[in-house]
Structure 1
C-alpha cells in the first residue's frame, strides 16, 4: 500500500485547548519567549542547503536584513538560554547564531537554529515550529512512555523543541547498515520490533525512516543501537491502524527484512511483550501527570470524525476490546489503548503473585 493511500495528504494544525494550556503551565512547559514563529518568516533571501554529497536536503538557509538580523540573533540566543540554561543573558556573549534553516517539506515547516559556542566551537540545534495540540500530546507521551526525556517549550502559537541527536534512519539504512556485523543486525532487528510496538501502543504515526534516528551507544566491546522518534506531528490523527506501525512503510522495508531474517517468531513475540510491559510500567510510574494528559486529550479535538470511527473499529478488531467501539474522539481511543496495555500487564502480574502464593 502506498503512503499516499495510507495517509492523508495534509494534516491540519489543532488549537491548544484551555486545559492543555494549563497543563503546560503546571509542568513548566509554557514559558514566555522573546520571538515567535512568524518573526522568522521575515527573511529577505535564501539558498538551498546541500549535504556533503551535494544532495539537496530540502532545507533552505535563510537570511535577514541587517536590522532584523540583530534583533533575531539576540532573541534566538535568549530562547537557547531558556531552553538549556537559566534564561539569563550571561551566556549570550559566548554564543553565535551560525545558521537559520527553513524546511518547506512536511506539515510542520520548522525552522532549525544552529547555535555555536565561540569559545570551543561546540554547537547544537533547536527547532521553532507552529503550535499544534496533537504534536504537543506526542511530545509529552514520548517524554513519559519512551526511554527518553524531551525538552520543549510552548508560548502562544510557537513551539520550541530541542534537537534529538542521532543518524537519520534513511541515511543509516543506506550508508551504515551494510557495514553492520551480523550481531549488530540482530540487535537492530530487536530494537525495531520494540520501536514498532511502542509506536502502536501510544498511537504515534508516520514513522518512516526519515522520521526517526538510530543512536549508536558504545557498551564495553560492542555497539548497541537505539531507535528514537524525532517527528511527533502524526500523534493520534490518522484513521488507519497501519499508520501507527512502522513496519508497513516501504521506507522501512530493510528493517523489516532484518526482523524476518534475524529473529525467530518466538523472539519477536518476546520482544513485543517486553515492550508492552515496559510501557505499562511507565504508565503506572507517571502517575497523575499522564492521567491529567489523558483527561485533557479526551476533551480535545486532534483528529477528524471519520478517522476516529475508522481507527476505533480497527482497534476493536485487533484487540476485541469493546471499549474502543464506544470512543467518539482520538483522546478517548488513546485512553482506552493505554488502559488496555496497563490492564493486561496488571492481570498477568496479579496471576503470577497468586500462583507464587499458592506454591508457598
Structure 2
C-alpha cells in the first residue's frame, strides 16, 4: 500500500479464466509452446477488451485515458504452466500497428517480494500493480534465457568474454544495491 502498488483494476485474473476455448501457439519453427490463445464469447470479449485497455493505461500513463481510443486488445494468451497461470495481453495501436504486452497473473506474497526486490536491484524500474489476488506486470523486452542459450550462445558472432563481463557487472551492481538496501533497513 505504501508503494502505491494496490490499484483498483477493472478486470481480474479470475475473469480472464472464463475463456470458451483456446488454440495452441507455436513458435517460428512449428514447435508447440506452453502458450495458448484464449478465445472468448462476444459479450465477454467486449467487456474484457475495454477493461484491459484501461489496465494498460494505468500501467503506462497512470490512468490517462485520452489515448485509449487508439488502442485495442489484439489477443489474450494463456499459459497453464507454472503456478501463476499468466495471461499475456497484446495491446495494439490502431493507427500504426505497433504492439506491446503486459501480464496478468495470480498474486502471492513471494511473487510480490521478488518483484519488489528486482525493482530495487535492477537498473531498470519495474511497473506492477495488485488488486484482490490479481497481479498486473509490465512486459520487460528482451530475449528469454532459454532461447538465448539454445539459439545464440554458441554462434560464432557471440562474444562470450563480453557476455561474461556484462554478467559480472550486473551482479556487482545488484550486490551493491542490495548492500545499500540492507544498510537502510538496519538504520
TM-score by length of 2: 0.90
Choose the corresponding residue for 1:191, options 143, 162, 166.
Answer: 166
Rate the CA distance shift 1:30–1:174 in 2: closer, same or farther, 3 A.
same
C-alpha RMSD of matched pairs (Å): 2.1
Aligned length: 186
SS in structure 2 at match of 1:177: coil
Aligned counterparts, 1:1-360, within 5 A: 25-181=1-157, 184-193=159-168, 198=171, 275=172, 279-281=175-177, 283-284=179-180, 291=185
- Deviation, 1:101, is 0.4
- Deviation, 1:165, is 0.8
Whether the aligned pair in 2 keeps the contact of 1:144 and 1:283 (CA below 8 Å) is no
Higher helix share: 1
- Deviation, 1:286, is 8.6
Return the alpha-carbon distance in structure 1 between the equivalents of residues 174 and 142 of structure 2: 23
- Deviation, 1:81, is 0.3
- Deviation, 1:178, is 2.5
Map Cα deviations across residues 41-82 of structure 1 (whole Å, 9 max, x no partner). Answer: 000011000111111111010111111110000000000000
SS in structure 1 at match of 2:152: helix
Return the alpha-carbon distance in structure 1 between the equivalents of residues 168 and 177 of structure 2: 18
Larger-gyration structure (1/2): 1
Whether the aligned pair in 1 keeps the contact of 2:120 and 2:177 (CA below 8 Å) is no
Return the alpha-carbon distance in structure 1 between the equivalents of residues 182 and 45 of structure 2: 42
Whether the aligned pair in 2 keeps the contact of 1:146 and 1:279 (CA below 8 Å) is no
Higher strand share: 2
Map Cα deviations across residues 202-247 of structure 1 (whole Å, 9 max, x no partner). Answer: xxxxxxxxxxxxxxxxxxxxxxxxxxxxxxxxxxxxxxxxxxxxxx
Return the alpha-carbon distance in structure 2 between the equivalents of residues 87 and 74 of structure 1: 13
Unpaired segments of 5 or more residues in structure 1? 1-24, 199-274, 292-338, 340-360
Tell which has more relative contact order, 1 or 2 (C-alpha 8 A, sep 6+): 2
